[in-house]
Amino acid sequence: MPLSSQRRPEVIIFDCDGVLFDSRKANQFFYNHLLEHFGKPSLTESDLAYVHMHTAGESITYLFGDNHIRDAVLAYNRTLDYTPFFGLMEMEPGLTEFLNYIQPEIRAAISTNRSTTIGPLLRSFNLESYFDIVISSLDVNKPKPDPESVIKILDYFEVGPGQCLYVGDSEIDAQTAFRAGVPFVAYKNASLTAYLHVQGFSELTDFLEDSRKSGVKSKS
């Protein structure tokens, strides 16, 4: 669905990993720790691509199989403190400037397949106050690419899909936005089908500034 002909979106929904943060190194170290602990070889590049986009439960099933080892890994995972891995994460350049720029006119939300780590992560980087609502994989029955998380956000703000933008970096994000009917902004991923492609938050700022001046018309 294209953005409504209003001048600006009322809500911007952000994915977390790959959009708010470059967390690839943190995910690599975290899952390699699990693999090493249970005597498994390190992540391949395709493994890393998978765990970067999916929930912890899905990633553990993918890496260890759906058997008794998986249950042991899940139990061990629940005992781990992810906080030390935050130091391996890098906040995307220009993020806080962009979040300050859109407030208070445009409200912000997060839809993420992270679970228990999203709250501590936002607090660690002093970002918690910027987001009106955060929907994690623990808040839904079906994680992304199911649109449930985005629908919860639309309901929270009492807005329609065409009054929002969804900013993501993966095919899972693109599918989530499409299924929810929300215009998708592809962040640093030109291979995705999207309403808009940007390489950084400065480009998204430029887009919003242009929409303020001229209004955003539906694109074919």
Nearest of 183, 169, 145 to residue 21 by alpha carbon: 169
Q: How far apart are CA 63 and CA 58, in angstroms?
A: 9
What is each CA distance from 15 to 27, 61, 73, 118, 211, in whole angstroms? 15, 22, 26, 11, 22
- Residue pair 166/183 in contact (Cβ under 8 Å)? The answer is yes
Residues 108 and 75 in one domain: no
What is the per-residue pLDDT for 3?
58
pLDDT (tens digit, 0 to 9) for every residue of the chain, 220 residues total?
555 544 589 999 999 999 999 999 998 999 999 999 999 999 999 999 999 888 888 999 999 987 789 999 999 998 988 888 999 999 999 999 999 999 999 999 999 999 999 999 999 999 999 999 999 999 999 999 999 999 999 999 999 999 999 999 999 999 999 999 999 999 999 999 999 999 999 999 999 998 877 754 434 3
Residues 97 and 196 in one domain: yes
Tell me the pTM: 0.88
Sequence-ordered strand ranges (E) for the chain: 11-14, 21-22, 90-91, 107-111, 133-135, 164-168, 184-187, 196-198
What is the per-residue pLDDT for 7?
58
What is the per-residue pLDDT for 218?
38
Q: Residue 131 belongs to a domain with what CATH number? A: 3.40.50.1000
Query: DSSP label at 131?
Result: -
Residues 109 and 70 in one domain: no
Place of tokens 């005597």: 39
What is the per-residue pLDDT for 181?
97
Tell me the β-bridge partners of 220: none
Q: By residue range, what is the domain housing residue 37?
A: 24-87
Nearest of 4, 62, 9, 72 to residue 37 by alpha carbon: 72
Residues 94 and 146 in one domain: yes
What is the per-residue pLDDT for 215?
58
What is the per-residue pLDDT for 101?
97
108's CB contacts (< 8 A; 6+ apart) are 11, 12, 13, 14, 99, 102, 130, 131, 132
What is the per-residue pLDDT for 2?
58
- Residue pair 63/34 in contact (Cβ under 8 Å)? The answer is yes
Q: How far apart are CA 37 and CA 99, in angstroms?
A: 39
Tell me the β-bridge partners of 17: 21
What is the per-residue pLDDT for 219?
41
Residues 99 and 176 in one domain: yes
